[in-house]
Chain A
């Protein structure tokens, strides 16, 4: 399946992916209204150390620890995409405890939130990828490594 992948060498560290993600998942039509003056809770985040930057978001693991560990049965795999049923999530953050990528975080309502490849919003394709000015994040099919 298609996943979001990161080309570290192309990342400019501009953080646009974070804003585009927060906007796409805000449910608001206007980007300014969605983001201005608000604390944002993007499902992708930029990490930075010694001049290197790159984006991190859910890897949609084949055998996801978050799904197996969720105490509420709120995380499941739908057609390869790891999704959270926020109405079931109680915000215990066991998923944060187990995700080896640091790709799950509490959202604005306290429920856990993560990248769902923009399948659950109106964007239609991952907003982080669409808005990346330097192709540092891509959405494509890649082969499993041997």
Chain B
């Protein structure tokens, strides 16, 4: 019997399995896994280096997950999906019959063609357990580490290894850290905190060429290093989908039910480009909660159920050396900004068209989810107490009646 074939074995695939099994408890599920690991929590790799978790605790689901869900895992590489023939082909020629496919192939590190990169002996990307274990082997108390990329991946890596190496320097073409989620001022606060914890920066500058243990920067500056980490960015894995005839852009194009443009092929997670309700546009929303939810939605639909996600928003919770930062939604330039600042904390609300379009908090992030729900649900601000919203996130922003439903009912 042809079953469901999932290409990828990350969090989106786990969501897809759980989605399918919520509707269909019997039809076989085959997962094709490029990595030789059971599903694990990728964002935890930096916490592993920091000593805050172990490889076994990084398992995203319990040991019996595949067995309990009647899933066969094939450790291999899928090279094509043909929905006319209803089969997925592996690189060893093996063919697997399928009634529906979910592409949950994630993303790959993007490594620009730096001049002289081939002369660097110890160079790593930072995405997977295998990357992490290889990096761990290469570093020691005396290592000077250069990280190219001051985004989430580069900076989490910096935090993870900071106490295990002699020095960490991070460079980025952007003139601020975390440029994809923070504005200038917030980025400044985070950068200062990272510097206080021993991380050095070369921002607004990038590597022109490498010569063994030296990086020559565009500015003419030089950086000597023992270990290089490349965290410039990631690219969605779209090739297989493209070859199968699916529309792709920066990611595999999906609708709000996770369908691609080809019947029978669904896609979920970091490889997709889906609806971002905070901007109304389609974009790659490569965040873990989104991967799980998309996977589950795809699974339910593949199995004949009905599910839709039309409220996905960008959001991040990230901390470095004890200083937390959360953000959600968008910060449109034309929005009204409300903010409160202290030395090491910022709370900034972006209000537009009578709604909370987005927010950034650094420091005390307590109850931030109340703001996130205002963004996600596009709650009209004239239905809540805006004065109280500005004081802090709490349920006091709601009317007695709404609060009675939230705290007195089944939700």
Distance in angstroms between the alpha carbons of A47 and B398 in the assembled complex: 12
Contacts of A105 in B (CB 8 A): 366-367
Most buried by B among A3, A49, A71: A71
Q: Which of B43, B292, B409, B411 has the most CB of A within 10 A?
A: B411
What is the CA–CA distance of A61 and B58 in the complex, to the nearest angstrom?
25
Task: Provide the residues of chain B in CB contact with A144, threshold 8 Å.
Answer: 409-410
| Given A62-B410, A93-B365, A97-B372: A102 in contact with B394 (beta carbons within 8 A) | yes
| Interface residue A142 (Cβ < 8 Å from any Cβ of B) | yes
Chain A residues in 8 Å Cβ range of B368? 96-97, 102
* Binary interface encoding of chain B residues 328-365 relative to chain A, with 1 for a CB under 8 A from any of its CBs, else 0: 10000000000000000000000000000000000001
Pick the most buried of B15, B59, B367: most chain A CB atoms within 10 A of its CB. B367
B-facing residues in A49-91 (Cβ within 8 Å): 49, 52, 54, 56, 59, 61-62, 65, 68-69, 71-73, 87-88, 90-91
B interface footprint on A1-42 (CB within 8 Å = 1, 0 otherwise): 001011110000000000000000000000000000000000
Please report the C-alpha to C-alpha distance between residue A17 and residue B388 in the assembled complex, in whole angstroms.
24
For residue A99, CB closer than 8 A to chain B, the reply is yes
With beta carbons under 8 angstroms apart, the residue of B41, B316, B324 that contacts A73 is B41
- The count of chain A contact residues (Cβ–Cβ below 8 Å) is 41
Contact with B along A134-146 (1 / 0, CB 8 A): 0000000011110
Given A8-B404, A73-B41, A102-B370, answer yes or no on A96-B365 (Cβ-Cβ < 8 Å): yes
Expressed in whole angstroms, the Cα–Cα distance for A48 and B394 within the complex equals: 9
Q: Is the CB of B369 within 8 A of A96?
A: yes
Q: Collect the chain B residues with CB atoms within 8 Å of residue A101's CB.
A: 369-370, 395, 406-407
Q: Is the CB of B317 within 8 A of A90?
A: no
- Closest CB in chain A relative to B9 CB, distance in Å: 14
- For residue B395, which residues in chain A have a CB less than 8 angstroms away from its CB? 47, 54, 56, 101-102
B367 touches A49 (CB 8 A): no
- Whole-angstrom distance between the Cβ of B167 and the nearest chain A Cβ: 25
Residues of B participating in the A interface, judged by any CB pair closer than 8 Å: 15, 41, 43-44, 47, 52-53, 57-61, 288-289, 292-293, 296, 315-319, 324, 326, 328, 365-370, 372-373, 388, 393-396, 400, 403-411
A-B pairs with beta carbons under 8 Å apart, 14 shown? A8-B404, A54-B403, A62-B411, A68-B15, A73-B59, A90-B53, A94-B289, A98-B369, A99-B367, A100-B373, A102-B366, A142-B410, A143-B410, A145-B409
* A interface with B by C-beta (< 8 Å): 3, 5-8, 47-49, 52, 54, 56, 59, 61-62, 65, 68-69, 71-73, 87-88, 90-102, 104-105, 142-145
Given contacts A47-B395, A91-B319, A98-B289, 8 further A-B contacts (CB under 8 A): A72-B41, A72-B60, A94-B289, A97-B316, A97-B326, A97-B328, A100-B372, A101-B395
